[in-house]
Structure 1
């Protein structure tokens, strides 16, 4: 029987609630032996979702407050590879199993802590960091998306566990990267503050560019500016918003009354494919189409078909024609037709519908597990996987109920791990990565591994297939820390240069379907011929361990949201779906999941000497951000989590309230009414009916400022934090690059102003500080170079002479730029 990728790894999972157990689940799904450590009385979170994320794990009950329990935990550590916790900073140390104690027991241990806020943050580290508390303090609920701003809805609550999802992906990748380097660098302790992970995951929502050109602003952004300039209120209704949506980036109703979401903007060929598929070829005859990498002053029209957004003079008539066309067929027919035509679109579904979707079930994106409590249980599948792992879809259920668990004496019989010697360096020092990706998800892999020492070379086409908004504006973040070469892979010279680059690479990344991968000649057999140790990391929209009806359908972040249920939840139902209000909600997460897949492949390579294909997908990431809802079984409670435009939280004791000086979040999900006893102003409410409490608390919270209420509840399991905004969080943590390297570990949040950027404008970006190892080095990647900036240097390193390079550029097999300016204006 073939060993699974991580079958040689043992993990102790002390995690509770979501983030820590999700890391344990991801490692277990890759074959690791994961032992869940429960406190006396069993897990703190007694819910079906906890049973799901405990799949494949064994369980052991330990009282860490007793000497016997502490010593058992340390004995287990001596025979393990990884320890995971997600307590507040300092809790594990107080229990006698902190990082220093673990390292004394096993110098080779990789320990991972996932606190809500950084241990180096004196203001925030002691706050009871419930998921929504992290979201509120970071800025997730404020000004949440252009739709909500135009409708005048602020704050906007969402139940999605973004912080835990981003934190889990960072946690899994960092553990696996640390294992890869353990022989050189020794054991390590890693901290991944969930708020830092969330801030990094939402980087595109706080990015700010000096003198940002109007040509990149959407109709909704321009309408917001117009209303502010004229002093008009933001009070649009949901139907009125449709006038400001791009026709190639919106939901249409079909003949069966179901929404169908199209995202076909910015890629050169996609709008044409959509109109031709809908039978609207006549429209194409007079729609402008030209090189959008020219400055806008040189455009022959005010928009081009290959550029987002559609101009005002054509937006209405294109939308109207598309509305009428979609009403001629049911959504499932359009989905089949669009998939076959390589036109990116999908039917809008709820989470429950996704859990029984034929593609999800056939491909392994959704699995059926025989759970000891719930019987046949449909669950989300692997978040990432290796193509060689035939057991990726064979899931063992979680631990048995307490009274059915066997003893685990064999855990104490293995010899302890050998001691490791620490050295200085990054986990991925010397790793050569060839990046063939574009837009956000794929490039996120390269920009992430660069911080750990990888050398990343970005290959893009001579003639860009993506408009400057997606390629250049998003690339300010996604292409940091890379070198850039432009090659025409349709020419023999371009292909030859690519294969030379591949022969020298350790890792190659691409975002595309299996069909697209094979069209580039990147079959597993061909890759193995070049280098049997070569790892290819592949991201796509609907990929999974197995093939399904939609495996070769194209897609983007928003389409994964629509397909897996995010949009109907956020919008409040199938008639009012809305894109989740943050750019890259799933895109960035999928890139982090791709890094975790790479980590598993590197660990397998270390043990077996074999490379192969490591994968993740937008759909699997879409499941991860919905992890607490992504299961179903007979008798399951209703899918009735908070949804829609006007929700403020989960209920009286976990929601947004307005204080005298602004909005805040109040969280007491475990204490509930007993939390009121801690505050004199609320003593009279201890025995009040809960139906009356929300209105009463709403009135009383208005009487004092946020800081007053935060102090009143400090030191308890309840928390009060202000609803910050992502821009305010960035601004408060901003350091200029010209002032020297910023200390990215000194607090929870960190941002950098690249004030000597090759673009000629400054740009503010989130700093890469979510992963904080004690021993290994992390570097802050420099600004993204202009596309093609290193073409000559890279070709020269491959052995091309100057005259050969000149000839390739003259012939169009290579190029040094897409436009005269870094960012066309």
Structure 2
């Protein structure tokens, strides 16, 4: 390539702290010209992390409160394609730089706003929406995960900036899709409330359904239900929790004392591979093996290796054998052996170790960048990239902008006539992915108007927990066909599909793609305009030692430091509380990669390979910490089970009627001085403040503190995902559902084809003024559209019957939508 994918895109980045600047970083990493607008008194977030997320940008200081600064900003907007801001609602209006003002100057402008809470939500819009305030109010700190609930630990603070990570990935792909549709839809004004994005990111923790069979519940879930049902205390010790962990889904200790995390369940063959690597071949041969798509009443044994979890009678026996085996080798040897055997597992690492990890550096997941202030830094790499973008790894730090040059360039041409079409209307997508992250790409595209067909194997390799229950969210709005791609006739079906689609999504390593004959050269020969979105666990800009290793959300959490931080150390690593933490984010990042590829194809007519990975998304949720350099301050961010804040001004406290989160990270003592009930505490040394604040907060109810702590500080009651779910719930039977006003929304689908009602989070994180958002229909039963799609491809009825009889195609995995 002679130009970068977004080399024709200019962005004005008014963002502060994380969310807005992260959008700017993603676009800059893809080649956009990003101008960071700084206030004259300096940036609000003067932190090494902000230096990192400013790489590749140009810096310009403007006094937006002055007439001259405002006029300059408007002139720059006339010469820009995108404006990003993440202020509270109303701030840009007060500066005279609202979306209406800037788009009046440039009707082709894409204006992205990332407030903490929805601007249409009168109860929340004016809160000082610090990251932890959003997390606390939404429920990220309450009932965090099965371990914490069984140990009775509540609340449980986490420094992971999930709202900004989810919001930034939504914002970046929304901008790119809006640019892609600009010629026919015109410019657009887009709002992405970070709290709405957080709820969508935690969607699998809000999913509820009627009468979920026990077979789909983990041993920890069943134990929690038992204790709650029988009014037993939630007081397990960490050491006791291992008795409730599946042997193929837990941490083991190696001979070097390092933890080794195994996630080799639910996928056909993975448990057996794991035992064979460990030298437990005889044990592997004795595992029960039958279809996971039978009802439990038809099972010949109490469990099958094709489904999670292992049955009670074998759980401890298998775990004990695996514990002994792991003690015979150090973790780095096991990592190489498991990777070669295609059994998903990894050594536990701290984030500091990940930043220096050989694979992370070789692959470009971690990059070396020369920064003007910090010197040579190790930094998180690209979130999304195109494979043939030769400039993707060439990173520079922040550079000064040449204002005269910017103002001397021509103004941008306007977009097309404003329309209400979906940004991706008419885009045809073939989805070859499974589980969560990959299918999330396709389900996200559906909301913007894409037509998505999911193709799965005739003989399922993944259990119904991951295909059906996870698919309730990630497979919505798609048509479903079953084809055996390992057969010659199945490859012919694939060839015909690839000829007619614009995009194919694959969650596979390079080696897996080669085995399925999904190489870039073959795809280009079939369809030169075809874009493949390739998603895997450990992929980066370049190949590294682990590029062909398999992995999942939890293995990436283990390798990049998330589990160490959350659990508190090598002896107590814990998966971050929420199911699909990185998986869902990774799917949104895959959409960012696709957005860049679509714009490149629009300019050049060329398809290609767009990529994202779980490891890159794992970096993104730790963006506030994901850097290192000589002289860096210690990695001492809050960690462990009993952490409930970060200093006295960013902390969970008990009010008289429940918990609150108090956030005054910039005003600090000034925030106390404004509240009569706290003013005397403003005279105390900071070292004495926390217990005094705790005592004072206990004297009044939560809503008192919320009403009295204002301005740039706030205090909010700690929500829970359950409370957020229940307060946001509407029923499909109520008729037209408005998903664009409240910050949160959950829909109960009462007539779901599963035969049970199910509660799902609708697509309300991205709220365009012009572009149309579609609420996807329900996930079809796998194979429902096999006959119709094959007919569309030119196969006759008799040919289709023969293909089904021969196992080349299929119409169902099970009699029921969800096996009982």
Matched with 1:764 is: 759
Please give the secondary structure, in 1, of the residue aligned with 2:300.
coil
Q: Distance between the aligned counterparts of 2:701 and 2:401, measured in 1?
A: 53
CA deviation map 1:322-346 (0-9, x unaligned): 0000000000000001001101000
Mapping of residues 92-111 of structure 1, within 5 Å: 92-111=92-111
Matched with 1:790 is: 785
Number of matched residues? 819
Q: Distance between the aligned counterparts of 2:667 and 2:42, measured in 1?
A: 19
Q: Distance between the aligned counterparts of 1:96 and 1:518, measured in 2?
A: 54
Q: TM-score, normalised by structure 1?
A: 0.99
Matched with 1:402 is: none
Q: Distance between the aligned counterparts of 1:692 and 1:631, measured in 2?
A: 32
Runs of 4+ in 1 over 3 A off after TM superposition: none
CA shift for structure 1 position 406:
6.3
1:684 aligns with 2:685: no
CA shift for structure 1 position 435:
0.1
Mapping of residues 181-580 of structure 1, within 5 Å: 181-399=181-399, 405=400, 407-420=402-415, 421-580=417-576
CA shift for structure 1 position 739:
2.1
Please give the secondary structure, in 2, of the residue aligned with 1:761.
coil
Please give the secondary structure, in 1, of the residue aligned with 2:189.
strand
Matched with 1:637 is: 633
Mapping of residues 735-754 of structure 1, within 5 Å: 735-754=730-749
CA shift for structure 1 position 407:
4.2
Q: Distance between the aligned counterparts of 1:286 and 1:107, measured in 2?
A: 67
Give the RMSD, CA atoms, in angstroms: 0.9
Please give the secondary structure, in 2, of the residue aligned with 1:686.
helix
Match of 1:727 among 722, 736, 740: 722
Q: Distance between the aligned counterparts of 1:250 and 1:419, measured in 2?
A: 55
CA shift for structure 1 position 493:
2.1
Please give the secondary structure, in 2, of the residue aligned with 1:752.
strand
Please give the secondary structure, in 2, of the residue aligned with 1:11.
strand
Q: TM-score, normalised by structure 2?
A: 0.99
Q: Distance between the aligned counterparts of 1:731 and 1:817, measured in 2?
A: 34
Please give the secondary structure, in 1, of the residue aligned with 2:683.
coil
Please give the secondary structure, in 2, of the residue aligned with 1:171.
helix
Q: Distance between the aligned counterparts of 2:715 and 2:598, measured in 1?
A: 42
Contact 2:657 2:702 in 1 (8 A): yes
Q: Distance between the aligned counterparts of 2:17 and 2:285, measured in 1?
A: 56
Q: Distance between the aligned counterparts of 2:486 and 2:595, measured in 1?
A: 32
Matched with 2:796 is: 801
Q: Distance between the aligned counterparts of 2:685 and 2:375, measured in 1?
A: 37
Q: Distance between the aligned counterparts of 2:608 and 2:287, measured in 1?
A: 45
Matched with 1:23 is: 23
Q: Distance between the aligned counterparts of 1:345 and 1:398, measured in 2?
A: 37
Q: Distance between the aligned counterparts of 1:19 and 1:139, measured in 2?
A: 19
Q: Distance between the aligned counterparts of 2:708 and 2:468, measured in 1?
A: 47
Q: Distance between the aligned counterparts of 1:285 and 1:539, measured in 2?
A: 32
Please give the secondary structure, in 1, of the residue aligned with 2:654.
strand
Q: Distance between the aligned counterparts of 1:668 and 1:264, measured in 2?
A: 43
CA deviation map 1:757-795 (0-9, x unaligned): 110001001111000000010010011111011111111
Structure 1 unaligned segments of length 5 or more: list them. 400-404
Match of 1:669 among 643, 665, 675: 665
Matched with 1:601 is: 597
CA shift for structure 1 position 741:
3.0
Please give the secondary structure, in 2, of the residue aligned with 1:526.
helix
CA deviation map 1:504-540 (0-9, x unaligned): 0000000010001111111111111111110000100
Q: Distance between the aligned counterparts of 1:605 and 1:735, measured in 2?
A: 40
Structure 2 unaligned segments of length 5 or more: list them. none
Q: Distance between the aligned counterparts of 1:658 and 1:237, measured in 2?
A: 24
CA deviation map 1:192-222 (0-9, x unaligned): 0000000000000010010010000000001
Q: Distance between the aligned counterparts of 1:555 and 1:811, measured in 2?
A: 33
CA deviation map 1:474-515 (0-9, x unaligned): 010010010000011122222211111111000000001000
Q: Distance between the aligned counterparts of 2:783 and 2:91, measured in 1?
A: 49
Q: Distance between the aligned counterparts of 2:748 and 2:794, measured in 1?
A: 37
Please give the secondary structure, in 2, of the residue aligned with 1:394.
coil
Q: Distance between the aligned counterparts of 1:488 and 1:364, measured in 2?
A: 35
Matched with 1:80 is: 80
Matched with 1:698 is: 694
Q: Distance between the aligned counterparts of 2:750 and 2:805, measured in 1?
A: 34
Matched with 1:610 is: 606
Match of 2:750 among 736, 755, 759: 755
CA deviation map 1:62-94 (0-9, x unaligned): 111111000000000000000000000111111
Please give the secondary structure, in 1, of the residue aligned with 2:780.
coil
State which drifts further: 240-249 or 694-703: 694-703
